[in-house]
Amino acid sequence: MRIRTFSRYASPLAAASVLVLALSACSGGSSGGGGSTGGGDAANNLDGRGPITYVQGKDNSNVVRPLIDKWNAAHPDQKVTFKEQSDQADQQHDDLVQHFQAKDQNYDVVDVDVVWTAEFAAKGWLQPLKDKMAIDTTGMLPATVKTATYNGTLYATPQSSDGGLLYYRKDLVPNPPKTWDEMMSMCSIAKQNNIGCYAGQFAQYEGLTVNTAEAINSFGGKIVDDSGKAVVNSPEAKTGLSKLVDAYKNGNIPQDAITYQEEQGRTAFENGKLMFLRNWPYVYNLAKTDGSSMVKDKFGIAPLPGQNGPGASSLGGHNAAISVYSQHKATALDFLKFIASSDTQKFYATQGSLAPVLSSLYTDPQLTAKLPYLPTLLTSIQNAVPRPVTPYYPGVTKAIQDNAYAALKGSKSVDQALTDMQSAITAASQ
């Protein structure tokens, strides 16, 4: 009898919990296989106003919350909620993919890394910013607008930018090199001082794609053309990649650098073990203020050296986009404009050391007093080339990393590496 009573209550209970599980499993992304063209969703809710959610990775420098507070104070009926993701780029990407697949209406405005924009746009997840939803991009750095553009349409507003800088030891080299060859000719000074000459990020990860693309673009090569077709097997690209490979072979790039990501390079530079370092602007403040930094007053910054002048930096940074599934797109659009506004950009720069997307701010005396590297960074970003704008970016970056790494290590000739890179990019883009 007791058993029967138990089972009478247990079965519905279990069935209910199973149902809950099943439902949550379904909403987790059973649509699994990619996206639709999103034509219908993109036309909906253009006039919708109301509360929205802004999704971004971890707010390390506490710039997002004050900004949203400011917005909410001014728009009490269209409040923005902040959904904070992890601080790992891969996890942020996968989180966005899951929510887009589930057509989540609660991801209204999302922060996308510049290299994801094309992929999300091609999957039909981002609201095209045209006609009624158009946004004014005059005054923004052209390279940043390019990262937000796919197939001739703007899909996001540039939110923050980033470019590579050359950190150099001004106590050893009073005038920074302007060209790559000039920099290599200075390496004898490093040798005399028994330190490494030049390093960037050469471990096998995204940083290597950035550095390889810079070498190739700086010498006039291209990785993909405007239609996304691989064109990396060219004499220009070969010259560029050879410069890196030769420098590694002859020791101008120290052996250790093959394990360097951003942080290892920064540590080596701060410990006085490197004469030239290619890195992002974030290093500037740390190298100036870190207690362990031995180069506090001994380093300067310059644009990356190129073939005949400044080289082509790869572009970092983030864009902000509206989800096509958002219910309140009019509010979302206003929020995008708010993010891209001069005031916000200034706040990002002063509070979070984020590089602005508006060129006028790079010479703003108030900002340059706080961030002295801004004018140099402007040169870097003005010469910058976005990494391949392609919806197949994960496959393309893999093709670049693997083959460039093999070339650096000497297990493959530069010619072979570029041939393989070309066919791997082609294979990954089908």
Partner 1 sequence: MSTQVPPRAASEAATREPHHTPGKESADRRQITQGRSASILLLPTIILLAVVIVYPVVNAIIMSFQKDAGLVNGFFVQGGAAGFDNYTHWLAQQCNGQSCPPGTLGSQFWNAFGTTFFFAIVTVALETVLGFWMAIIMARTFRGRSAVRAAVLVPWAIPTAVTAKLWFFIFAVDGIANSLFGTHILWTGSEWPAKWAIIISDVWKTTPFMALLILAGLQLIPDEVYEAAKVDGASTWQRFTQITLPLVKPALMVAILFRMLDALRMFDLPYIMTQGGNNTTTLSILVVDQIRQGFNSAAALSTITFLVIFIVAFIFVRFLGANAVGAATSAGKK
Q: In the complex, what is the shortest distance from the CB of residue 163 to partner 1, in angstroms, rounded to a whole number? A: 24
Residues 6+ apart with CB under 8 A from 306: 179, 180, 218, 219, 312, 383
Query: Whole-angstrom Cα distance, residue 276 to residue 331?
Result: 46
394 binding partner 1? (CB under 8 A): yes
21 binding partner 1? (CB under 8 A): yes
222 binding partner 1? (CB under 8 A): no
Looking at 37, 308, 341, 342, which residue binds partner 1 (CB under 8 A)?
Answer: 37
- Closest C-alpha among 318, 346, 337, 348 to residue 63: 348
Looking at 55, 67, 80, 122, which residue binds partner 1 (CB under 8 A)?
Answer: 122
Run of H or E residues at 222: none
4 binding partner 1? (CB under 8 A): yes
Q: How many CA atoms lie within 13 A of 69 on its CB side?
A: 5
98 binding partner 1? (CB under 8 A): no
Run of H or E residues at 111: strand 109-113
147 binding partner 1? (CB under 8 A): no
Our CB check for partner 1 shows the closer of 124 and 305 to be: 124
124 binding partner 1? (CB under 8 A): yes
Our CB check for partner 1 shows the closer of 46 and 89 to be: 89
Listed as own residue / partner, the contacts of 59-67 with beta carbons closer than 8 Å and 24 or more positions apart are: 59/84, 60/87, 60/352, 61/351, 61/352, 61/353, 61/354, 62/351, 62/352, 63/347, 63/348, 63/351, 63/352, 63/354, 66/347, 66/351, 67/339, 67/344, 67/347
Our CB check for partner 1 shows the closer of 96 and 381 to be: 96
32 binding partner 1? (CB under 8 A): yes
Residue ranges of the alpha helices (H) in 75-219? 89-101, 117-122, 142-147, 180-185, 187-192, 206-218
7 binding partner 1? (CB under 8 A): yes
36 binding partner 1? (CB under 8 A): yes
Query: Whole-angstrom Cα distance, residue 371 to residue 358?
Result: 15
Place of tokens 């920099």: 183
Task: Name the segment binding partner 1 (CB under 8 A); options: 18-26, 193-201, 216-224, 329-337.
Answer: 18-26
**Which two structure tokens, joined as six digits, stand for 284?**
């500037």
Looking at 47, 69, 84, 94, which residue binds partner 1 (CB under 8 A)?
Answer: 94
Give the phi and the psi of residue 65 in degrees, each rounded to 5: -60, -50
18 binding partner 1? (CB under 8 A): yes
- Closest C-alpha among 24, 5, 416, 383 to residue 242: 416
Looking at 1, 3, 73, 74, which residue binds partner 1 (CB under 8 A)?
Answer: 3
Query: Whole-angstrom Cα distance, residue 400 to residue 424?
Result: 8
Looking at 107, 168, 280, 392, which residue binds partner 1 (CB under 8 A)?
Answer: 392
Torsion of CA 157, 160, 56, 346, to 10 degrees: -100
CB atoms within 10 A of CB 32: 7
Task: Name the segment binding partner 1 (CB under 8 A); options: 342-350, 357-365, 368-376, 388-396.
Answer: 388-396
1 binding partner 1? (CB under 8 A): no
Looking at 43, 134, 369, 427, which residue binds partner 1 (CB under 8 A)?
Answer: 427
Restricted to residues 259-278, the positions that interact with partner 1 (CB under 8 A) are 259, 264, 267-268
Restricted to residues 229-258, the positions that interact with partner 1 (CB under 8 A) are 255-256, 258
Our CB check for partner 1 shows the closer of 301 and 425 to be: 425
Q: In the complex, what is the shortest distance from the CB of residue 373 to partner 1, in angstroms, rounded to a whole number? A: 27
Query: Whole-angstrom Cα distance, residue 102 to residue 105?
Result: 9
Q: Which residues bind partner 1 (CB under 8 A)?
A: 3-4, 7, 10-11, 14-15, 17-18, 21-22, 25, 30, 32-38, 90, 93-94, 122-124, 150-151, 203-205, 255-256, 258-259, 264, 267-268, 391-392, 394-395, 398-403, 405-406, 409, 412, 420-421, 423-428, 430
